[in-house]
Chain A
Amino acid sequence: MTQASTLPLADDPAEHSPVVLGPWALVWRKFMRHRLAVISGVIIILIYLIAAFAEFVAPADISKTSVRHTFAPPQMMHLFAPGDDGSTVFLPHVKGLKTTIDKEARRRTFEIDDTKIIPLGFFVHGFEYKLFGLIDTDLHLFGAKNPRDTFYLFGADRLGRDIFSRIVVGTRISMSIGLVGVAMSLVIGVLLGGISGYFGGWLDGLIQRFIEFIRSVPTIPLWMGLAAAIPLDWPPLRTYFVVTLIVSMIGWTSLAREVRGKFLSLRNEDFIIAARLDGLSHGEVILKHMVPSFSSHIIASLTLAVPLMILAETSLSFLGIGLQPPIVSWGTLLKEAQNIRSIAQAPWLLIAPGTVIVIAVLAFNFLGDGLRDAADPNAH
């Protein structure tokens, strides 16, 4: 909108040149008024940043086991510590753990040791990794100032691995499955929905029957069957893509219906007919007139479809038929919390990944709602 405002007429001094907002600017403006959606958008951007820089954010190596820290409880982060002279100084730290071995139950019990302070700092050196698989580095966003100290913000699992770091790294798989899955259902949904709505006729009938079929059968048993068919010895990357494909089967039917409905109602709008009469081809009419008039709705629906896919991945992986353990995702992390005995002993196995999932899903829902409200700038 470079030429958005108009020049006032010389012979019309009362004319103020109003700022003319294009449709997208109106959508943006309305969206920004939806505070919860904006906050959710920021949270989602943060989550994806964490996913991109997972190794940098994670303080501990996710595959480093420690027998001495089996089921170590979460250590709270404290910001202030008593200084040498008895005053309070700013020093981010966690309290150390005291281990006692319960001979009878044959397990360790942990206690917070208030006297032992593990100072934390930003940009510390820790385990080595390759940033984006390219750059060798051992720099981390934060960690213990003494690299030999270990600490567990969200506790440790059965093998003494740091759950916080594992959740951070699992973000990458879980969140990207949502995106890739949505991209796949977008392609299928828009293609089939578009064909159905624009051309109509028997093709429309066939596609509609097919969608009805998919919606009328309970999907979980079918996915379970599909996911269980993935051989265990497949490389992780291939498993990942097949699981994504299975997960994307959820979203496309509703998307296709929505696209079809929009096409059907738009097809008879006068401005679409006018565009045809202006000499535009079918493709030009679709791209220039139809797609822009419902793309904001589609974006909103896609945003609302992402959490469904995240939940589907977690559910399948939790059941042990989606992604398999060396891959770290929120679902495989929850798999550790499968029986009540481990939950009772280490509730953080359930609480930490569970909370993260709920936050991510809620953020996507709020964002999608906000986008949906903003999608129709002329309403109200």
Chain B
Amino acid sequence: MLGFLARRILYMIPTLFLVSIVTFAIIQLPPGDYLDTLAADMGEAGSDNNAAIEALRVQYGLGEPMYVQYGKWMSGILLHGNFGLSFEKNRPVTDLIWDRLGWTFLISLLTLAFIWLTALPIGIYSAVKKYSAGDYIATFFGFIGLAIPNFLLALVMMYVAFRYFGQSVGGLVSPEYLDAPWTWAKFGNLLEHIWMPIFVIGTSGAAALIRIMRANLLDELYRPYVVTARAKGMSEFQLLLRYPVRVALNPFISTIGWILPTLVSGEIIVSVVMNLPTTGPMLLRALLVQDMYLAGSLILIVSVLTVVGTLISDLLLAWIDPRIRYQ
């Protein structure tokens, strides 16, 4: 187990290194930089401020070669926890992002829980009651869940909530609670809002998992060992949970490995639509105005946390099922 842990952590280092390089390459891709945007704005405003812009350029090291900029950025992060400055807001990136990252991962994890809690029982039900009305309904919604893109579902939900329930939409709390300190009332208000993004992000994942669980269980249900257990006189419910579900659960569990990245991805799109105070809207805005350190830091941290999260889930998995280690 220790060797496995060490190996997985060792594997993670090049992954993280690659993530940082890819991120940096991506934010360097657009021609020009934020100062060009700034200069264009200033030009439109009528002021000619070339000297000031040049000064900013030197200060941020923007004129230097790529690898120097990368080195400066990475050493700042690794040595001082300094992710650079947000050009647009003119504040350190670290001041801006942690709240939003927290919400992103809170929502992603809650979504994971939601997916598991719905997909497991529904999957078992539709396998056991194959071709029943309930199975068909689950299959139908499964397909719909796979076919509707996250942002579209978000828009539809918002429209329905707005049109038929008169609910304020967007955000995680109602406007009147925005700046209020945390109280039970605000918490309740949060719960009223947060289910919607969780539902929206989780639907497609749950749909996929229901189908996986159903297929896995159907493979197991007619195996001789199940027949043997039934012949021994075991009750159907016990029999189901003790043998086939356990076996069918294994491939189900290993989906944790890929589900976290997709959830985080989904959260980012949905939060743009629903205007949630998470990374999505901030990342989009930063990308559009070429606020490179802000955008880069968000991509980097989200990726790193996802890789770490996947690692943790893999470790849990290896702990639950020792066979995984050797795969």
Which A residues are closer than 8 A to B by beta carbons? 209, 212-213, 215-222, 224-226, 228-229, 231, 307, 311, 314-315, 318-321, 334, 337-338, 340, 343-344, 347, 350, 354, 357-358, 361-362, 365-366
Contacts and interface: CB of A to CB of B under 8 A. Distances in A.
A314 B151 CA distance: 9
Nearest to B296: A225
Interface in B100-151: 143-144, 146-151
A225 B299 contact: yes
B262 A218 contact: yes
29 contacts: A209-B11, A216-B306, A217-B19, A217-B22, A217-B261, A217-B303, A218-B265, A220-B266, A221-B268, A221-B303, A225-B27, A225-B299, A226-B26, A229-B26, A229-B29, A231-B30, A314-B149, A319-B151, A320-B288, A321-B284, A338-B273, A344-B159, A354-B152, A354-B156, A357-B149, A358-B144, A358-B147, A362-B143, A362-B144
Interface string B219-254: 000000000000000000000000000000000000
A343 B155 contact: yes
A231 B283 CA distance: 18
A315 B307 contact: no
Given A219-B265, A229-B29, A340-B170, A315 B288 contact: no
A218 B162 contact: no
Nearest to B295: A225
B258 interface: yes
A319 B262 CA distance: 17
B149 to A, nearest CB: 5
Give the most central of A209, A220, A307: most B CB within 10 Å: A220
Contacts of A318: 151
A254 to B, nearest CB: 10
Nearest to A215: B258
A297 B143 CA distance: 21
A220 B287 contact: no
Given A311-B149, A319-B272, A340 B261 contact: no
Interface in B18-34: 18-19, 22-23, 26-27, 29-31
Interface of B: 11, 14-15, 18-19, 22-23, 26-27, 29-31, 143-144, 146-152, 155-156, 158-159, 162-163, 169-170, 258, 260-262, 264-266, 268-269, 272-273, 279, 283-284, 287-288, 295, 298-299, 302-303, 306-307, 310
B143 A365 contact: yes
A368 to B, nearest CB: 11
B18 A350 contact: no
A226 B29 CA distance: 8
Given A216-B307, A365-B146, A221 B155 contact: no
Contact of A225 (B143, B155, B287): B287
Give the most central of A225, A340, A366: most B CB within 10 Å: A225
Contact of B306 (A218, A231, A307, A314): A218
Contacts of A337: 155
A95 B265 CA distance: 45
B147 A362 contact: yes
Contacts of A343: 155, 158-159, 162
B307 A217 contact: yes
Contact of B148 (A221, A229, A319, A358): A358
Given A319-B272, A340-B170, A225 B258 contact: no
A221 B304 CA distance: 12
Nearest to B272: A319
Closest 3 CB pairs of A and B: A220-B265, A229-B29, A228-B287
Give the most central of A217, A224, A337, A365: most B CB within 10 Å: A217
Give the most central of A221, A362, A365: most B CB within 10 Å: A221
A217 B249 CA distance: 25
Nearest to B310: A216
Contact of A229 (B30, B268, B272, B283): B30
A216 B11 CA distance: 12
B147 A307 contact: yes
A344 B163 contact: yes
Give the most central of A218, A319, A344, A358: most B CB within 10 Å: A218
